[in-house]
Structure 1
């Protein structure tokens, strides 16, 4: 199954393409954030993980169509992605 994962210091998520949540783990430190900040962080992690899962899905679809391997496509994308677009 294709999934995406994202984490920060207070939470981690695993989602399917499109953002369907498969796993959510919240550290004890998250309780000090307050509900609004915690929800903002979790939603941000879900967005990041969903984008990752969607990229993986696209690469796997391309491979099944014999458009190249996932590794080849990922490398080509990396080579053409400007540094200013990269998520740190």
Structure 2
């Protein structure tokens, strides 16, 4: 299991937390982080999927390969439902 990303401290990926989560992830990617451990996320909704996709786009623009660990089950199911699960690589 990957160690928690010290720059990414999230307990939710929801509509209410999306802006802050997006900013935290963008800062971590800009600092060179390429693996995000989402094990601390206890609440997530479709906004969380959008945040993960935005992080992935930013990493791709920077020439990085971003991977996720411990993705909450409901986020995995939503990503599959929307047909974007292949865009969110997990390690």
Larger radius of gyration: 1
The answer to whether TM tops 0.5 is: no
TM-score by length of 2: 0.29
Higher helix share: 1
